[in-house]
A and B are shown apart, each in its own frame.
Chain A
Amino acid sequence: MGGAKTMATLKNARWPAFAVAIAVAPALGGSDYMLHVLVLIGLYVILAESLNIVVGFTGQFSLGHAGFWAVGSYVSALLLIRLGLSFWTATLISMAAGYLMGIVLGLPAMRLKGDYLCIVTLGFGEIVRVFATNLEVTRGPMGLPGIPVPEIAGFSFDSEKSMYYLSWACALATIYVAAKMRHSRFGRALMSVRDDELAAVSLGVNMTYYKVQAFGLGGMFAALAGALYASWATFISPDVFQFSDSANIFCMMILGGLGTIAGPVLGAFLLAGLPEVLRQFAEFRLIILGLLMIVLMIYRPGGILGSYDTAGVSVKARRRKTNKGAKI
């Protein structure tokens, strides 16, 4: 029994341990370039984790997540440049914009699922990019340069190290919210919609509300990543937010393990981190990545940490259900 208890303690301690590891990592040395890569990974953690709310929790395929990322980036950047708002206000407003966009995109989601939803979300991502390319206010393909960095009480987040802490604070907050959500009434409702719409509706779950909310929240956090990205890179253009990025975020979530909390984090480390580590094989890295995805789907279709079967029900959850009654 002692062993089991230790295991449980270890399991409970893994997220705090992860947070501590993140906090001390820069102290262990490492170049600005290392930190740069880690900031990028942090942003992708937010993106993959927020997409997980839409796809992993609620079972709605979305291939347009880069669209929300773009909305967040552009809204925040424009507020900073044109209106001179502070980073924090701009970020909050851009998150609200991301949330609203999610709600708008979630409306067709009421009627569509599977591949149809996939193509609508994909279309959404492209529409956002087309608007960013053609609108006057976004300066089209030339992009928006000179986006100011975040500042608080005279302290400016202009170094990689400070941006590292800011982005990872947001990433950890996102992970925390997602983890809390998963075990809340709200999260259970999302998962019930995913697992069996009919059963969920007959038990009184307002399916429309939850589907739309999932998109809203996913969009909100993606917009947060966007606002951070804009102020970190100080330059954004429509080229940053391509379909390939949506696909990339989607793959991070799947590779790590759909519907899990740790999965998207692992996926972000692998897909955003490995290409940087493999810089010397720059020509081959995406070729290898493509092969890796195929091989993984053949041998471990549920992702590295996940266990997702064809019916869309988490095997783990089902096992727990049979062991402990109806608790999911």
Chain B
Amino acid sequence: MFFQQLVNGLAVGGIYALIAIGYTMVYGILFFVNFAHGDIYMLGTYCAFFIFGFIGVEATGGVISVRQFFAALLPSMLACAAIGVVLEKFAYRPIRNGSRLSAMISALGASLFLCNGAMYLFGSQTKPMPKLFAGEYFTIGGTIISYIQTAVLLVSFVLMVALHLFIRHTKLGKAIRAVSDDQRAAVLMGIDMDRVISATFAIGSALAGAAGIMVGIYYGAVYPSMGAVAGIKAFTAAILGGIGNIPGAMLGGVLLGVIESLGGAYISFGYRDAVAFFVLIITLCLMPTGILKKGRT
């Protein structure tokens, strides 16, 4: 049972990690919590839902091929990136020099707007999502590992490696790191803040979109309020790993997923969410900067 829960936790944790990266990147640069991030993730799932509908996959009981999955993944990530950039432009840019509190309220407002906008446009009922691999699985020493879990872990892993390479080895990535380290010095060196911030929102939102599709397929459902809980969990993961720190968000996400699954299995499934938050509160009280501190500051 331990290994089974570990596998389940890893798959969910990979998804948390992808969403957490968006929180942590925005926090690293603008020092505020983008509460609308969870709703961008929800919009990502809807994007995929409509793309599957467009290419004629049956939502209930339908099975998509790997190619169809990627055909939906990339446009949805792009769409989420665009939504993130537009959101930043209209809701956050005008108050960038204001207090962090107003940014937070604006983010809560944006979250309300997106969630209820989706409810109005797409209906509030839960809609089914098609499956990938139709529940096939393989076993290693009695532990059942489904193909979809493997796919989720693999895609999350590849995206995180890609992000890492981007942040480490491209000029824009360097600029993002520079702004996150010392905003004033970065601007004095001629780095275009607006561009860096837009890029940050685009990347974070695209990853949230990817997470959204995978969750939609993993649980086979999409609904407008799905962003709220996932958003809170991912934010928890970001803090657990040390907010503002990208590897921290990855680690925090995976850890949170595993702790939650194990806690749910050994204590009680119903208390799964409470376990996650207890861990969070204890972590914060004992090491308020998270597991990995924000480096290089």
**How would residues 226 to 238 of chain B score, 1 for a CB under 8 Å from any chain A CB and 0 otherwise?**
0010001001100
Is A119 within 8 A of B280, CB to CB? Answer: yes
The interface-forming segment of B45-53, B63-71, B87-95, B161-169 is B87-95
Alpha-carbon distance between A287 and B118 when the two chains are bound, in angstroms: 10
Residues of B within 8 A of A116 (CB): 239, 284, 288
**Pick from B90, B243, B285: contact of A294, CB under 8 Å:** B90
Inter-subunit contact A293/B33 (CB<8 Å):
no
Contact of B98 among A130, A250, A255, A297 (CB under 8 A): A297
* CB nearest to A59 among chain B residues: B101
Q: Does B109 contact A (CB under 8 A)?
A: yes
A120-138: which have CB < 8 Å to B?
Answer: 120, 122-124, 126-127, 130-131, 133-134
The A-B contact count (CB < 8 A) is 126
B27 — which chain A residues lie within 8 A by C-beta? 115
Could you tell me the distance between the alpha carbons of A111 and B284 in the complex, rounded to whole angstroms?
A: 9
> What is the distance, in angstroms, from B83's C-beta to the closest C-beta of chain A?
14
Assembly CA distance A286 to B114 (angstroms): 10
Asked whether, in the complex, the Cβ of A130 is within 8 Å of the Cβ of B102, the reply is: no
**Does chain A have a CB within 8 A of B278?**
yes
Report B-chain residues with C-beta under 8 Å of the C-beta of A126.
232, 273-274, 277
A272 within 8 A of B: no
A294-B284 contact given A119-B236, A250-B108, CB 8 Å threshold: no
Q: Residues of A contacting B268 with CB < 8 Å?
A: 134
On whether the beta carbons of B284 and A119 are closer than 8 Å, the reply is: yes
Contact B271 A293 (CB under 8 A): no
* Chain B interface residue number, banded: 35 or more
Q: Does B56 contact A (CB under 8 A)?
A: no
How large, as a class, is the contact surface on chain A? 35 or more
Say whether A258 contacts B101, CB under 8 Å.
Answer: yes
Contact A310:B239 (CB < 8 A) given known A126-B232, A254-B105, A283-B120: no
Instruction: Report the bound CA distance from A130 to B243 in whole Å.
Output: 25
Minimum CB distance partner of A107 in chain B: B285
Chain A CB within 8 A of B106 CB: yes
A247 to B33, CA, bound (A): 13
Distance of A133 Cα from B274 Cα, bound (Å): 11
C-alpha spacing A116/B90, complex, angstroms? 26
* A286 with B112: CB separation less than 8 A: yes
With A293-B109, A301-B99 as given contacts, are A134 and B270 in contact (CB-CB < 8 Å)?
yes
Chain B residues near A (Cβ < 8 Å): 27, 32-33, 35, 90-91, 94-95, 98-106, 108-117, 120, 228, 232, 235-236, 239, 243, 268, 270-271, 273-274, 277-278, 280-281, 284-285, 288
18 residue pairs bridging A and B, Cβ less than 8 Å apart:
A111-B284, A112-B284, A119-B239, A130-B273, A133-B270, A250-B105, A250-B108, A287-B117, A290-B109, A290-B112, A290-B114, A291-B109, A294-B91, A297-B98, A301-B95, A301-B102, A308-B101, A309-B99
9 nearest interchain CB pairs?
A293-B109, A290-B113, A290-B112, A123-B277, A134-B270, A301-B102, A286-B116, A130-B274, A297-B102
